Amino acid sequence: MASNKLSLRSRIFVYMILLVLVASVLIAAVTLYQYNEQSKDYHKQRLERKEAQLLSSIDYVIRSTTWPRETEYLPLIFKDKIYEIADNLSVEFNIYDLGGTLVKSSKPSFENDSLVTCMPAEILNNLMNSIEKRHVETNETLGGDFRSSYTIFTDFKSKPLGILNVPYFEDDSFNDDELKEFLVRLGYAYFVMLLVAIAFAYFVSRYITRSLKTISDKMSETRLEKRNQKIELKGASEEVSVLVESYNSMIDELEESAVKLARSEREQAWREMAKQVAHEIKNPLTPMRLSVQSFQRKFDPKDPDARQKVDEYSKTLIQQIDTMSSIASAFSNFAKMPAQKNETLNVVEVVDLALDIFTEDYLTFKCDKEEIIAKLDRTQLIRVITNLVKNAIQAISHVDDPKVDIELKDDNENVIITVSDNGHGITEENKHRVFEPKFTTKTSGMGLGLAMIKKIIETYNGSITFTSKVGEGSTFKVTLPKG
């Protein structure tokens, strides 16, 4: 499960190192196995050579002896010759009769040795039943390195005369030293090879995943609302090239879809805006129509209060006309923002100036600095401040102890403006609709204020966020780059 969390680059690196380690262990195991097999073959062949030399010498003695060539005369035949053969060949050996009784040994004082004078029945049976008339026995009591071979020798007429016993001790001390030295050298070689493998695995894994990393970075930067760049890779593998072609094809399709979506959204937005404007314009037209109809029915030129009624009628019409004018102005401001003028401003002075139009005594403005310089449009900055403060004032219209706090901060790169109130707050179902162009929870207005200032802020690559809790109030936070 842990390997599933590793990156492709890490997996390639780890697997290559594991491959080298496994190969090293296998090579070491094969080396030890080969050494053991060679050692066994060496001792087997050495014992066979000794037996062949001894059998050749025994055959020569038997052919040249004057004693009868019978088993019972073996002690006489090899009385002195056994020592001569042992000295010439530098080999100790024993001669048993066919019944397994010791006849002669190359050791002069074998009577005092621990050597058994009678061959074990099991060995004798195995020897007699073997096809080659030869048996090799490992002596467990003396260790696995000691073994004895038993071979039946004959006269020149192939008549069995006795049994040749050659005790053999495997001395591997020299070979073991060579093996240890070889393994030490092999260990050094493996260590250097491991370091080389680590470096090689690092660069190979980096090279293999470099193309994938480029594709991954491009994919993470892909956005529907902006123009995305295609990937150009030189020398990429066939698989990666297919992936790049698929990505570039997806970018083309994405751009086409984005254009269609933007066009559709604009058309839909203008339809919705036209419906909203038409609805807002109809609202004052209805009372205007009713006022005119009422005036036509009830107006009497001879009425002494006729002038007063005309004035009241005129005020009603003017009031409704002003409402329609404000609707048209709001729509015009939202639909076509004036060009931005990046001026070097003291944001503290501009915000303070924007707050001068508000006479409410529960407004507080706080800033730790007297001067915060930024490149912004003065008119649009004032519009952002006034809209946020107006919304805050409207949100606390029914609060017993209203408060609106405006705070200005500087974090070296950005200007941060926060407007907080203790009003009724925004419900969860309305939070995602706050910045929609026509959304409003008030009985008056078109709901264009927050949508308009969001558009202003985003043109500066800034951001506007808010937090709100029903019954406790809301806080809007505006972050604008200083330029």
| 312-345 tens-digit pLDDT | 767 767 766 766 666 666 665 555 555 567 788 8
Ranges 132-146, 250-264, 304-318, 422-436, most confident: 422-436
Q: Between 407 and 140, where is the model more confident?
A: 407
Same domain, 263 and 366: no
Total structural domains within the chain:
3
pLDDT in the model for residue 404: 93
Burial 177-213 (b: 16+ CB within 10 A, else e): eebeeeeeeeeeebeeeeeebeeebeeebeeebebbe
In a domain, 170, yes or no: yes
Same domain, 295 and 352: no
Q: For all residues of the chain together, what is the average pLDDT? A: 78
Q: Between 482 and 7, where is the model more confident?
A: 482
pLDDT in the model for residue 326: 63
445: left (phi over 0), alpha (psi -120 to 50) or beta: left
pLDDT in the model for residue 364: 92
In a domain, 202, yes or no: no
d(CA 326, CA 161): 138
* Whether pLDDT at 12 is above 60: yes
In a domain, 233, yes or no: no
User: Which of 152, 175, 198 is at the close of a domain?
Assistant: 175
pLDDT in the model for residue 21: 84
Length of the chain: 483
Same domain, 128 and 145: yes
Tell me the per-residue pLDDT of 120-150, one tens digit each, with 9 for 90 and over. 888 889 888 888 889 888 765 554 567 788 9
d(CA 240, CA 232): 11
Same domain, 96 and 161: yes
In a domain, 185, yes or no: no
In a domain, 232, yes or no: no
Same domain, 363 and 318: no
One-letter amino acid at 215 equals I
pLDDT in the model for residue 444: 43
As beta bridge partners, residue 414 has: 481
As beta bridge partners, residue 409 has: 416
Same domain, 363 and 311: no
Of the pLDDT bands very low, low, confident and very high (cuts 50, 70, 90), residue 418 is very high
Strand pairing class (160-169; 94-96)? antiparallel
Strand pairing class (134-138; 146-154)? antiparallel
Same domain, 160 and 276: no
Cα–Cα distances (Å) from 192 to 21, 61, 197, 199, 240, in that order, read: 12, 61, 8, 11, 33
* Whether pLDDT at 443 is above 50: no
Two structure tokens written together for 340: 């931005």
Phi, psi (5° rounding) for residue 231?
Answer: -95, 135
Two structure tokens written together for 105: 């040994």
d(CA 286, CA 304): 29
Query: What pTM was estimated for this model as a whole?
Result: 0.38
Same domain, 426 and 279: no
Same domain, 347 and 331: no
What strand order describes the sheet that includes 473-481? 363-367, 404-410, 414-421, 473-481, 463-469
Q: Is the dihedral of CA 120, 123, 126, 128 positive or negative?
A: negative
Task: Reduce the DSSP state of residue 448 to 3 states and report it.
Answer: coil
In a domain, 216, yes or no: no
In a domain, 217, yes or no: no
User: Which of 123, 141, 175 is at the close of a domain?
Assistant: 175
Range of the domain at 262: 238-335
d(CA 408, CA 426): 23
Neighbour count for residue 469 (Cβ, 10 Å): 11
Q: Between 443 and 269, where is the model more confident?
A: 269
Task: Reduce the DSSP state of residue 170 to 3 states and report it.
Answer: coil
* Whether pLDDT at 265 is above 90: no
Q: Between 340 and 253, where is the model more confident?
A: 253
d(CA 240, CA 392): 55
- Of residues 7, 57, 43, the one with CA closest to residue 138: 43
Kindly state the percentage of the chain with pLDDT values over 90: 12
Cα–Cα distances (Å) from 113 to 105, 148, 214, 234, 320, in that order, read: 11, 16, 84, 85, 138
Task: Reduce the DSSP state of residue 316 to 3 states and report it.
Answer: helix
Q: Between 232 and 472, where is the model more confident?
A: 472
CATH code of the domain in which 427 resides: 3.30.565.10
DSSP state, residue 72: G
User: Which of 289, 313, 335 is at the close of a domain?
Assistant: 335
Query: Contact, 138 vs 146, CB < 8 A?
Result: yes
Same domain, 367 and 296: no
Same domain, 426 and 290: no
What mean pLDDT comes out for the span 357-383? 87
Two structure tokens written together for 134: 């030869």
In a domain, 264, yes or no: yes
Same domain, 75 and 160: yes
d(CA 127, CA 71): 17
